[in-house]
Structure 1
Amino acid sequence: MTDGVFRFESFDLDVIRGRLSRNGQPIHVEPRAFALLCHLVQNRDRVVTKAELLDAVWRGRFVTEAALTTALRTARRAVGDDGSRQRLIRTLQRRGYQFVAPTTPGPAGAATGSGPTVSVPGPPARSRASGADREVIRFCRARDGTRIAYAVSGDGPPLVRTANWLTRIDVERTVDMWSHWFDGLTRDRQLIRYDERGSGLSDWTSPGITVEDWIADLDAVIDAMELDRIPLLGVSQGGAVALAYAAQRPERVSRLILAGAYARGRLVRAADDNERDAAAVDLDVARLGWLTQDRSLLRFFASQFQADAAPERWDEFVALQRQTTSAENGVRFLEALAHIDVSALAHQVRCPTLIIHSREDQRVPVAEAAKLASLIPDNRLVLLESRNHLLTGSEPAWAQFLHHVNSFLAA
């Protein structure tokens, strides 16, 4: 079916413009869920199988059924439905799904409201219409010639997020574990993020994966954007890179945010034989999981990042990792991160710094946040009530995180 607009209950779904609105008010829907909703509505006269939805929405990419479950739940939530009521989207056991609400097709472009455009996933290099939904992916070269992919999203003052564990900028905003970060950080702001060498859309073949190489990647992006002084956000491993960059390029960094960050890798910070043994086992499990692609081992690794998330979130994490780099590069990253140590640079950071950390972080202990606070001269330490290394969008700590980040950047 090729109709452009569909009306059901108080909703208008504009397939052509990529908009969903209710009573004229725009509703933001992450792109995968939007694509799923469009496919179900356009084929509402029949049952759509899981296989068809996976093919239509992910276009041949390997994903687990957990990703489909997540997108389905997000689509239902956007139209005020859920898996219990199934008022609009019905699950037919062992058959598939069907959109069952009475629907009236309308002419293309007729939907009311002028809210943000939500684009159905397409080719990696794309631009969106306006505001937070406008995203452009570009490429630049680091000083050694390595090609680095970076994305520019939203409007307003810039915020640069350093690359962290295995990103892929063309898909991360479509998965639950990262989509709320994207939405929250692009509100009235221009967010700049990139894939570091060895992962994502950047070159996978690079002779070095060191802090100096990662700093060169960040230099290349900031140079390409022709930015002067910028606030820098480092999450997890990206915190070590952001800290080192702020120390070595003080003229380029106005403010520094370290979220779930550390200055010392797990093998470096191990204080005794027991901690060294635990760090070595953790590295071996992760390394073996990457080399064998053993789901149970990869799931164990994923669970450390979102300890309180549902198992399907771990599967989503595993599926995203598989899209980001090769097994060989994954092992190289793991070993580099276990041995990272930028603690000697911390006292050289001169800009105001916000250190924000989950009190019961299961991947990076809160003691590492306290260590950073003891080393960086001008800092504020905020501890959030969470067990998650990467905060989920549904927990109270996420709203608190955004509040502290926005207040810090506005100061």
Structure 2
Amino acid sequence: MSTPAALRQELRFTHLPSGARIAWARSGHGPALLRAGHWMTHLEYDAVSAMFRPWLERLGQNFTVYRYDERGCGLSGSDDVAAGLESSVEEIAAVVAAAGLPRVALLGISGGAAPAIAYAARHPERVSHLVLLGGYSHGLLCRQLSAEQRAYLQAQAQLIELGWGVRDAPVQQFFTSTMIPDGAPEQVAALNEQQRRSCDAARAVSLFRSRLTLDVRAEIGRVQCPTLVFHADGDAAVGIEQGRELAAAIPGARFESLRTRNHVPLAGEPAFERFCEAMTEFVGAGAGTFNGTAFTPRERELLALVARGCDNLQIAAQLGLAEKTVRNGLSSLYTRLGVEGRSHAVVRARELGFS
């Protein structure tokens, strides 16, 4: 079977105060949506993954999707800073700054939910919407557990330490079978491979332990932006009650369960389409519109590239259009937006959430 062509994306790098390199990527067109770092990412593999490429393609129809590899994972470098809430929030802030995003919608999946909540609580002026999937306000080690439950978590950590990163090893499959029990063979293989490629055993166990101790209960009540919480009704990785608990703690949050056993809905199941549609409706309400009228897909592409500072030749090359077609399309958009030139159009496009 031939390998599919990689998703078109821009890869860039920024640095943390420690000097560690953080890799981030941008794809799609429309208002800015940042996916917080979550379990075992790899930006280049995402682009061909049978699990995450459909996510990027689907969300990229309506958003400019930003994402990054946590330090020590994928294309990012490492440092001596311990994995945890503070380091994760620092990574979000670094990518927001590097991408020049004055305001962004945040997507927090699983262990990425708590850092997204903390960033939104600390920087309310920078977050327009918060969408959470399969998340929790505090990890298992912050809960009342039996001795047997604690021993089971320790056994999982030891399993990672002893067998992580080997091709076709059963360790990755152990976590994959919990996260996507109904995944198709190619999706299961993709998640196994993503975990293997992402990082070594030392980093994997560090991330695993850090997820168990995440705790944003002291900050969650300060979230001000509109929030939508999703949770799979048959989630074996993070029980749905933790999703309800999370939604109840965020002022004004809306909760929706998804009919799937997969921790992350997969392309091909109704829960995936429902998630994408509901999130697009929720985040897109009022975003990327002018005087109450939504832009066409082509107009959204043009505005996103204008917001990035691209000139007509660059836009034509990006979209495969003649320069004259771009010039005419922009002229029409400028009139509609009530702006007189490129510099004003850049400001207006960014105000509307494009980037």
CA contact (8 A) 2:13 2:22 kept: yes
- Based on CA coordinates, which of the two structures has the bigger radius of gyration? 1
TM-aligned CA distance change 1:243 to 1:316, over 3 Å: same
Structure 2 CA distance, aligned partners of 1:343 and 1:275? 22
Aligned to 2:182: 308
Aligned counterparts of 1:188 and 1:392: Cα–Cα separation in 2: 18
1: CA distance, partners of 2:112 / 2:225: 17
SS in 1 for 2:112: helix
Return the TM-score normalized by structure 2. 0.75
Q: Which residue of 1 aligns with 2:290?
A: none
The alpha carbon displacement at 1:316 in A equals 2.7
- Is 209-218 or 279-288 further displaced after alignment? 279-288
Looking at structure 1, the residues matched to 229 and 108 of structure 2 have their Cα atoms a distance apart, in angstroms, of: 10
Secondary structure of the residue aligned to 1:177 is coil
User: Is contact 2:163-2:201 (8 Å) kept?
Assistant: no
Structure 1 runs, 4 residues or longer, greater than 4 Å off: 291-294
Q: Higher RCO, 1 or 2 (CA under 8 Å, sep at least 6)? A: 2
5+ residue gaps, structure 1: 1-32, 37-56, 58-70, 72-119, 122-132
Matched, 1:295 2:172: no
Q: Show the counterpart of 1:384.
A: 258
Aligned partner of 2:218: which letter? A
**3-state DSSP class of the match of 1:333?**
helix
Asked if 2 retains the 8 angstrom alpha-carbon contact of 1:306 and 1:387, the reply is yes
Q: TM-score, with normalisation over the residues of structure 1? A: 0.65
Report 1:2-17 matches (<5 A).
Answer: none
Alignment match of 2:41 (pick from 167, 191, 197): 167
Aligned amino acid, residue 157 of structure 1: P
Deviation at 1:271, TM superposition (A): 4.1
Offset at residue 189 of structure 1 (A): 1.6
Structure 2 unaligned blocks of 5 or more? 286-355
When the two chains are superposed, the root-mean-square deviation of aligned CA atoms in Å is 2.0
CA distance, structure 2, for counterparts of residue 338 and residue 294 of structure 1: 26
Q: Is the 8 A contact 1:198 1:206 kept in 2?
A: no
The alignment partner of 1:152 has SS state of: strand
Return the offset for 1:292: 7.4
Question: What residue number does 2:275 align with?
Answer: 401
Per-residue CA shift, 1:110-129, capped at 9, x if unaligned?
Answer: xxxxxxxxxx44xxxxxxxx
Per-residue CA distance 1:175-214 (angstroms, 9 max, x = gap): 1111111111101321111111110111034432221111
How many residues were matched structurally? Answer: 285
What percentage of residue pairs aligned between the two structures are identical? Answer: 35
Is 1:193–2:33 an aligned residue pair?
no
Q: 1:356 offset after TM fit, Å?
A: 0.4
Whole-Å separation in 2 of the counterparts to 1:385 and 1:173: 26
CA shift digits 1:220-273 (9 cap, x unpaired): 111111111111001111111101111111111111000111122222234444
Amino acid at match of 2:236: Q
Compared CA separation, residues 266 and 281, structure 1 to 2 (3 A): farther
Asked if residue 357 in structure 1 is aligned to residue 231 in structure 2, the reply is: yes
CA distance in 2, matches of 1:313, 1:183: 16
Aligned counterpart, 2:29: 155
Q: Give me the whole-angstrom Cα distance separating, in 2, the residues matched to 1:216 and 1:379.
A: 25
CA–CA distance in structure 1, aligned partners of residues 161 and 118 of structure 2: 26
Q: Secondary structure at the match of 2:164?
A: helix
- State how far apart, in whole Å, the 1-side matches of 2:234 and 2:49 are: 24
- Distance in 2 between residues matched to 1:269 and 1:403, nearest whole Å: 34
Say whether the 8 Å CA contact 2:137–2:216 is kept in structure 1: yes
1:208 pairs, out of 74, 78, 82, with 82
| SS in structure 1 at match of 2:42 | coil
Q: Which amino acid aligns with 2:135?
A: A
**What aligned pairs does 1:191-270 form with structure 2 within 5 A after superposition?**
191-270=65-144
1:288 to 1:264, Cα distance in 2 relative to 1, 3 A: farther
Task: Output the amino acid matched with 1:246.
Answer: A
How far off its partner does 1:294 sit? 7.8
Indicate which of 304, 321, 330 corresponds to 2:195: 321
SS of 1:171's partner is helix
Give 1:291 shift. 7.5
Question: What CA distance in whole angstroms lies between the structure 1 residues aligned with 2:74 and 2:224?
Answer: 32
CA 144–270 in structure 1, closer or farther in 2 if over 3 Å, else same: same
